Amino acid sequence: MLQWTLLLVLAIAKKSVVEPRPSWTPILEGEAVTLICHGVGPLKEERAWWYKNQQSRGILSTNIIQTNQPGEYRCQTQGSTLSDPVNLVFSSELFSPPDLKTTTSEPIEGTPVNLSCETQLSPQRLDTKLYFSFTRDGMVITSSGKNSHVLQIPAIQTKDSGSYRCEAKAVTQNILKQSNYVKISVKSGNLSSFNSSEKISHLSLGLIVTQFIVVVLAASALLFFFGPWSKSE
Strand residue runs (E) in 22-112: 27-28, 33-38, 47-52, 59-62, 64-67, 71-76, 86-88, 90-92, 99-102
Split into its structural domains, the chain has a count of: 2
pTM value is: 0.59
Q: Are residues 63 and 118 part of one domain?
A: no
| CATH number assigned to the domain comprising residue 21 | 2.60.40.10
More confident residue, 120 or 55: 120
Of 71, 91, 111, the one marking the end of a domain is 91
The confidence score (pLDDT) of residue 85 equals 94
Evaluate whether residue 52 is within a structural domain: yes
Reduced to 3 states, what is the DSSP secondary structure of residue 155?
coil
Evaluate whether residue 174 is within a structural domain: yes
**Distances in whole angstroms, Cα of residue 107 to Cα of each of 39, 123, 141:** 67, 36, 18
Q: Report pLDDT digits (tens) over 138-168.
A: 999 875 555 689 999 999 999 999 999 999 9
- Say if residues 186 and 157 touch (Cβ distance below 8 Å): yes
Q: Are residues 176 and 105 part of one domain?
A: yes
Give the angle subtended at the CA of 160 by the CAs of 157 and 164, to the nearest 5°.
145
Identity of the amino acid at 77: T
Q: Are residues 118 and 170 part of one domain?
A: yes
Q: Are residues 63 and 34 part of one domain?
A: yes
Structure letter (DSSP) for residue 187: B
Of 67, 91, 115, the one marking the end of a domain is 91
Four-residue CA torsion sign, 118, 119, 120, 121: negative
Q: Are residues 72 and 136 part of one domain?
A: no
- Say if residues 100 and 117 touch (Cβ distance below 8 Å): yes
* CA terminus-to-terminus distance, the chain: 135
Residue 132: count of CB within 10 angstroms of its CB: 23
Evaluate whether residue 145 is within a structural domain: yes
Q: Does residue 124 carry a pLDDT above 90?
A: no
Evaluate whether residue 31 is within a structural domain: yes
Evaluate whether residue 215 is within a structural domain: no
Evaluate whether residue 148 is within a structural domain: yes
Reduced to 3 states, what is the DSSP secondary structure of residue 141?
strand
Domain range for 111: 99-184
Task: Give the separation between CA 8 and CA 14, rounded to whole angstroms.
Answer: 10
Average pLDDT over residues 36-61: 84
Task: Give the separation between CA 208 and CA 205, rounded to whole angstroms.
Answer: 5
Q: Does residue 216 carry a pLDDT above 70?
A: no
Q: Report pLDDT digits (tens) over 80-94.
A: 899 999 999 887 889
Evaluate whether residue 1 is within a structural domain: no
Q: Are residues 40 and 103 part of one domain?
A: no
Q: Are residues 85 and 69 part of one domain?
A: yes
The confidence score (pLDDT) of residue 78 equals 85
Tell me the pLDDT band of 1, cut-offs 50, 70 and 90: low
